Chain A
Amino acid sequence: MQASESLSIWSLIVQASFLVQAVMAILLLASVVSWVMIVNRGMYQRRAKRLYTEFEKRFWSGIDLTQLYKQGNNRANAGAIDGVENIFRAGFKEFSRLRQQGAVDAEAVMQGTERAMRVALAREEEKLEANLAFLASVASVSPYIGLFGTVWGIMNSFRGLANVHQATLATVAPGISEALVATAMGLFAAIPAVLAYNRYSARAESLAGNYETFSEELSSFLHRKLHSNVA
């Protein structure tokens, strides 16, 4: 009678030993934080993708590059620019600055521009992959933490069993059930983290590839411009 009433999952959690409860709390926290990051990264990457397609369309619409640069000035001051446009701005700024300074050597101008773009590219890649390391560690560690809680709980329930002469299933079952809740929670935290990590790292990689292609295109564009001017 009493047993059937007390076997809800909630009461199992409440009645668990302190260590198992601590393990559960850690796992819950990890799950909450990893979900924060999952949602946050998802939103950021989706936005970056959208910005990329939009900017590329504008870039290839045949607009003058100086004008394109000027269009972004306001937003750049407000700090609202993200993604590929940053790379463009960094490269173009360096390019126009070097030319204004009267650097005659086309090779030197191109080198400076490319370096500036590389820096911006690295920064953007870093932004795309931020927090993914945390997701990866939650994905790999939380099953172990859960298992630890389970092993500890089972250990205790068997130790309690040693004092009983007549060992029935009913004396062990609640302890084991309680202990298994920890593993369940570990898996619950780990599975979304693994999925999100795989998905987001793949997406970040493809976006970074896109950025790189774009920076190559831009540098070839500038190169052509430089050489046509010289000639």
Chain B
Amino acid sequence: MRTALAKPGLMVSISVSVIFHGILIYLVALGWEETKQSEVRNPPRVVQATIVELTQKAPTQATKLKEEPKPKKIDLTKKKREAELAEKKRQAQIAEKKRQKELEEKKKREAKKKAEEKRKQEELAKAEALKRQKALEEELERVEQERLQQQLQEEIEAAEAAERALIAEQQAEATAQSYVALISQRIEQFWSRPPSARTGMRCELLIQLVPTGRVVNVSIASSSGNSAFDRSAEQAVLKAEQFRELQQLEPEVFERYFRELRIVFNPQDLRL
């Protein structure tokens, strides 16, 4: 009785719940974190859009010289009739005239054609020149863009490198700090303070170390004014003798922070 009611309702509620949680997990996994990060990670890459106009190609095929059909010579006067000689002559004259006329016309036409052709060629040349110019301009623009892009890329890389260097430096400093803390802790163990030590006394030592961690030299950088106190501090460093932990340090960090180490002694506690 109850199952008949519960079945469809149960399916609906299970799917609603699962979908709801799925959406939530999706949002958490991909949602709002993404926007913040992409801003930092991907510097905007500028892509400039250029309108490339397709120049209409001038009719390239050279206008072929249409061969003018040669006028047929009409030799009507081939009949060799003596009586018609005059006629023939006349006709010959006419033909001659005609021929001349035709010749003239042909010349004219040819001249015209030539002019046309020349014009066309000129046009073609002009179009060609224009095209070349355009291509040149485009090329120039492209080169310029590439240069800009490269410049941008270089700038980004430089910035990234600088950031990395900064972080590395911070890390180095942090490790150096922790090693300094370690060293001062060790020295404090060996330090027996003289009875004449008073609060407010301050003695700064300059310790020279080698990469194995061994102390090679100790000198007093600034005295506290009490020679017993100064000596006790010096003795403490000499007793500590070697700090093996420094061997784990990277060489450049060692060079930077530990080749010469300044440590301040005062009776409260050890402080750098």
Q: Are B16 and A35 in contact (CB under 8 A)?
A: yes
Chain B residues with a Cβ closer than 8 Å to the other chain, count: 32
Return B261 CB to nearest CB of chain A, in Å: 15
Q: Are A165 and B181 in contact (CB under 8 A)?
A: yes
Q: Are A10 and B181 in contact (CB under 8 A)?
A: no
Q: Are A1 and B178 in contact (CB under 8 A)?
A: no
Q: Which of B2-10, B78-86, B126-134, B218-226 contacts A (4 or more CB under 8 A)?
A: B2-10
Q: Which of B17-25, B42-50, B53-61, B64-72 contacts A (4 or more CB under 8 A)?
A: B17-25
* Given A8-B33, A10-B28, A80-B4: A32 and B17 interface contact (C-beta under 8 Å): yes
Q: How many A-B residue pairs have CB under 8 A?
A: 70
- B residues in contact with A78, CB < 8 Å: 4
- B residues in contact with A165, CB < 8 Å: 177-179, 181-182
A228 to B6, CA, bound (A): 42
- A residues in contact with B178, CB < 8 Å: 164-166
Q: Is B198 an interface residue (CB 8 A)?
A: no
- Contact flags A27-71 to B (C-beta < 8 A → 1, else 0): 010011101111110011000000000000000000000000000
Return A68 CB to nearest CB of chain B, in Å: 19
Residue of B17, B18, B179, B181 with most partner-chain A CB within 10 A:
B17
Q: Are B12 and A39 in contact (CB under 8 A)?
A: yes
A43 to B14, CA, bound (A): 12
- A residues in contact with B17, CB < 8 Å: 32-33, 35-36, 38-39
Q: Is A127 an interface residue (CB 8 A)?
A: yes
Q: Are B16 and A166 in contact (CB under 8 A)?
A: no
- A residues in contact with B12, CB < 8 Å: 39, 43
Interface residue ranges of A192-214 to B (CB < 8 Å): none
Q: Are A79 and B4 in contact (CB under 8 A)?
A: yes
A62 to B17, CA, bound (A): 44
Interface residue ranges of A5-36 to B (CB < 8 Å): 5, 8-10, 28, 31-33, 35-36
Q: Is B135 an interface residue (CB 8 A)?
A: no
Q: Are B174 and A80 in contact (CB under 8 A)?
A: no
- A residues in contact with B163, CB < 8 Å: 1
CB-defined A-B contacts under 8 Å, sample of 9: A9-B29, A10-B29, A35-B20, A39-B13, A78-B4, A79-B1, A82-B5, A165-B177, A166-B175
Which residues of A does B touch, CB under 8 Å?
Answer: 1, 4-5, 8-10, 28, 31-33, 35-40, 43-44, 78-82, 127, 164-166, 168
